[in-house]
Structure 1
Amino acid sequence: MSQQQRDALDALLRSAPRAQTRPAPEQQRTGFAAIMTRPAPEGVATRETVLGGRPALEFKPVAVATPRGHLLYLHGGGYVIGSPETHTALTGELARRSGLLATSVDYRLAPEHPFPAAVDDGLAAYRELLAAGTDPQAIVMAGDSAGAGLSLATLLAARDAGLPQPAAVVLFSPWVDLTLDGASMRTKQDADPIFIEDDLRTFADFYVAAGDRAQPLASPLFADLTGLPPLLIQVGANELLLDDAVRLAGRAGADNVEVTLEIGPGLPHVFQHHYGNLDEAGAALDRAAHFLNAHLSSARAELVH
């Protein structure tokens, strides 16, 4: 670990100007895209596709003739901003390190399409993978921030619809409590270089509006997680959403879901974006790739026996 790298990243994130008045969602999307969009890593081919009736980006590691599994990725952005394009680098790097075919879905965003539109789109994408004949035990999922919460909501909706679960799920800095009740919303307000609580509250306002923010498909922290596949949760210690991850791990364990929680000291929200400039980011992505492959191998071994 490099303290110098962590300090430099913290300073960089804090240097981003904060608008005096909150921009409209479309302006936020444009600004986010300008900051976040990076090309796919070398060795990963991309192509536009459609999954579950929504535009999507497919990522294929060119060195892998036949990927051993399919990764369904759901991007972050508070349900209001972000797209497969803003997460091309992160999704592509996870695909490259894991050797998996990945598809990132451009699910509908709020406030134009409030809850449960994103959940409906996530479920439709998962249904189509199954309908195409993909063995559920050859499917894994991943997501970051709101996309991590959406990954869980998608699988809860799939479970309740009687669909089989995938082999494993990786969650980067999951946002799973839209009531914003985690203690770290207050205890980490000075440590977090990206968000203030009002940022997340505004996203929740756009997504759920006057609805119940504690309903399980909006805030999976309050769901019964029984029957979900193994989870790997990675979170930074320097973020408002730290307690979302910690409480989620406790809830999963109480519901007899296999769960691994990793807390990165001194690290910000979705620090995995900064692979190449932050040693901890690359190491975390390696562990995530290993986790997915280990559970794909385990699932196949169980099927053979």
Structure 2
Amino acid sequence: MSRQQREALDALLRSVPRGGTPPTIEEQRSGFAAAMSRPAPEGVATRRTVLGGRPTLELVPENASGGGQLLYLHGGGYVIGSPETHAGMVGELALRTGLRTLSVDYRLAPEHPFPGAVDDGLAAYRELLEAGTDPRELVLAGDSAGGGLSIATLLAAREAGLPQPAAVVVFSPWADLTLSGESIRTKASADPIFTAADIQAYADLYLGAGDPADPLASPVFADLTGLPPLLVQVGANELLLDDAVRLAARAGAADVEVTLEIGAGLPHVYQHQHGRLDEADAALDRAAEFLTAHLPVRTTVG
């Protein structure tokens, strides 16, 4: 662990200009892409495909054993982000697990409000099963909004009578669109990225006329009974800390095998800082170990 790395990252994130004229949706998307996009790591081949009717980025690590698959749902507040903006982090997870990985470009708000993203997540999951993927050899992961969406996808799959996958990992999940977690207020000065107003704006864009307490929008209010083993990783320095804590507690109360990791002094989806932050690489290692440990055929962690 490196205190110096954490402090340098915090200072860098706080240096981003705030205020002024609010950017348009397109400006937010292009700005996020410019700031966050990193290529897939060496040893991971990528190609564009389609899954569940949506464009999808397939990432195949050179150490893929054919023993399992990973379905990934990216973050971005349901408004920004894409498989390309997350190719670096998702590629690192693919390489560490040795799993063929499919990162879905689900529809974004406000053009496609709730439950559009959930419908796309479910369609992708359903197609994998219908194509013959054994659910025991399938795992899910997602970050931020994609973390909440991963859980919502599994809830929708359960309601549709589909089997659950082997395991799921979520990084800094956005799981409460009512913004009722105490950390929205108590971590206001600690979070170097978001304000409560930022998060509320994304919630409004995604929900449209939808109910923010709907369990498919806010899984902290869902009955999580029957979901697969869950790993939740979150930074201590983020407004969404309580989303992760309450999601894990809700899972535990439903008799779901759950592990919660809170990274001291770390920001939202700190795993994006792989190669720059020791804690990010260690977290990705643990996430990969968790996923592969729940597959019937163990794959080699790279």
* Range into which the TM-score falls when normalised by the shorter chain: over 0.9
| CA-CA distance at 1:27 after TM superposition | 1.1
CA distance, structure 2, for counterparts of residue 21 and residue 175 of structure 1: 26
| CA-CA distance at 1:298 after TM superposition | 8.0
Q: Which residue of 1 aligns with 2:5?
A: 5
Q: Deviations over 1:153-177 (max 9, x none)?
A: 0000000000000000000000000
CA distance, structure 1, for counterparts of residue 224 and residue 297 of structure 2: 21
Which contiguous aligned blocks of 4+ residues in structure 1 show a shift greater than 4 angstroms? none
- Match of 1:6, SS state, is helix
Q: Deviations over 1:267-299 (max 9, x none)?
A: 000000001110000000000000000011389
Q: Which residue of 2 aligns with 1:293?
A: 292
CA contact (8 A) 1:43 1:96 kept: yes
CA distance, structure 1, for counterparts of residue 31 and residue 41 of structure 2: 22
| CA-CA distance at 1:19 after TM superposition | 4.0
CA distance, structure 2, for counterparts of residue 63 and residue 69 of structure 1: 12
Query: Does 2:44 align with 1:44?
Result: yes
TM-score by length of 1: 0.96
- Match of 2:71, SS state, is strand
Q: Which residue of 2 aligns with 1:104?
A: 103
Q: Which residue of 2 aligns with 1:115?
A: 114
Equivalence map 1:54-203=2 (5 Å): 54-64=54-64, 66-203=65-202
Tell me the amino acid that sits aligned with residue 136 of structure 1. P
CA contact (8 A) 1:167 1:299 kept: no
Number of residue pairs matched?
299
Uncovered stretches (5+) of structure 1, i.e. residues with no partner:
301-305
Q: Deviations over 1:208-233 (max 9, x none)?
A: 12321000001011000000000000
- Match of 2:261, SS state, is strand
CA distance, structure 1, for counterparts of residue 146 and residue 163 of structure 2: 20
Uncovered stretches (5+) of structure 2, i.e. residues with no partner:
none
Q: Which residue of 1 aligns with 2:217?
A: 218
Tell me the amino acid that sits aligned with residue 293 of structure 1. T
Q: 1:299 and 1:276, CA in 2 relative to 1: closer, same or farther beyond 3 A?
A: closer
CA contact (8 A) 1:137 1:299 kept: no
CA distance, structure 2, for counterparts of residue 21 and residue 223 of structure 1: 37
Tell me the amino acid that sits aligned with residue 271 of structure 2. Q
- Match of 2:163, SS state, is coil
Query: Does 2:228 align with 1:235?
Result: no
| CA-CA distance at 1:53 after TM superposition | 0.3
Tell me the amino acid that sits aligned with residue 145 of structure 2. A
Identity %: 74
CA distance, structure 2, for counterparts of residue 31 and residue 217 of structure 1: 28
